[in-house]
Structure 1
Amino acid sequence: MHKGFLSAGIVSAGLSVILGAFAAHGIKSKVTADVLAIFETGVRYQMYHAFALLFTAIMFQYFDSKQVLWAGYLFIIGIVLFSGSLYLLTYFKGVGNNAFNWLGAITPFGGTAFIAGWVLLLVAVITKK
């Protein structure tokens, strides 16, 4: 088992719950529905990939390979880039600052990291002897 990925998954899942509650109770009345949807997408994908990190941590026990290791790193990178960019975009849109709309261009890099992580897990399974 990979303790680092297990810890990162647990922390990320906990933060997802906290951020989801913040969205529901803290900012829901302060932003438009479109801006809230951006934030909720970040929370949702963070939680999905928190579970992916937990799965990767357990998988590492059975598939001690570079593919599984890199999958975990890519899930962490994806959370930071994908969800992080959406959280920042939500903040700046919420305060009426459209100068940071370019943050939306970072989000696909996080999505690509997520996809690459899943592909690497598949490769690890397929190539296991």
Structure 2
Amino acid sequence: MNKKIILTALIFGIVSIVLGAFGAHALKKILSVDQLASFEVGVKYLMYEAFFLLFIGTTALLLEKQKRIIFYFALFGSVLFSGSIFLLTTKAISGIDFKFLGPITPIGGLLIIVSWGITFYYIVVKKV
């Protein structure tokens, strides 16, 4: 499980760096200031989750079962949160209106919060 978590963290990191560069250079000319700012939020949170998953994958403070639960909350939360932001803000490029994804973004955010919250809980109740 640790290898899967770390590999996911690395993929999130790579994607956030690539999309961050893409946003700073290519999208800067196409998107509005507000759209670009939203796009950057998706990039930032994807990178935050990359660092979070690196911690989860390498810490000895959590049991494997706990890591698995945290991983899936973080994975689905990040994909829903950042993914929906990327699709919603790039309508000018794709020509597709992903407005229906609007309610998905806060659900993804909630899953991210849950992943951090249960990590906190697991570590607090751990008997040393």
- The answer on whether the counterparts of 2:31 and 2:90 sit within 8 Å (CA) in structure 1 is no
Residue aligning to 2:8: 8
- The answer on whether the counterparts of 2:80 and 2:105 sit within 8 Å (CA) in structure 1 is yes
Cα offsets for 1:1-28 (capped at 9, x unmatched): 7110000001110110000000001110
- The answer on whether the counterparts of 2:77 and 2:110 sit within 8 Å (CA) in structure 1 is yes
What code does the residue aligned with 1:83 have? S
Displacement of 1:96 in angstroms is 8.7
Task: Report the Cα distance in structure 1 between the residues aligned to 2:94 and 2:32, rounded to whole angstroms.
Answer: 11
Displacement of 1:67 in angstroms is 2.9
TM-score, normalization by structure 2: 0.90
Over the matched positions of the two proteins, sequence identity in percent amounts to 39
Residue aligning to 1:73: 72
RMSD, aligned α-carbons: 1.8
TM-score, normalization by structure 1: 0.90
Cα offsets for 1:67-93 (capped at 9, x unmatched): 33211111111110000000000122x
Displacement of 1:97 in angstroms is 5.4
Q: Indicate whether 1:125 and 2:94 are aligned.
A: no
- The residue correspondences of 1:1-129 to structure 2 (distance < 5 A) are 2-59=2-59, 61-92=60-91, 94-95=92-93, 99-129=97-127
Q: Unmatched 5+ residue regions in structure 2?
A: none
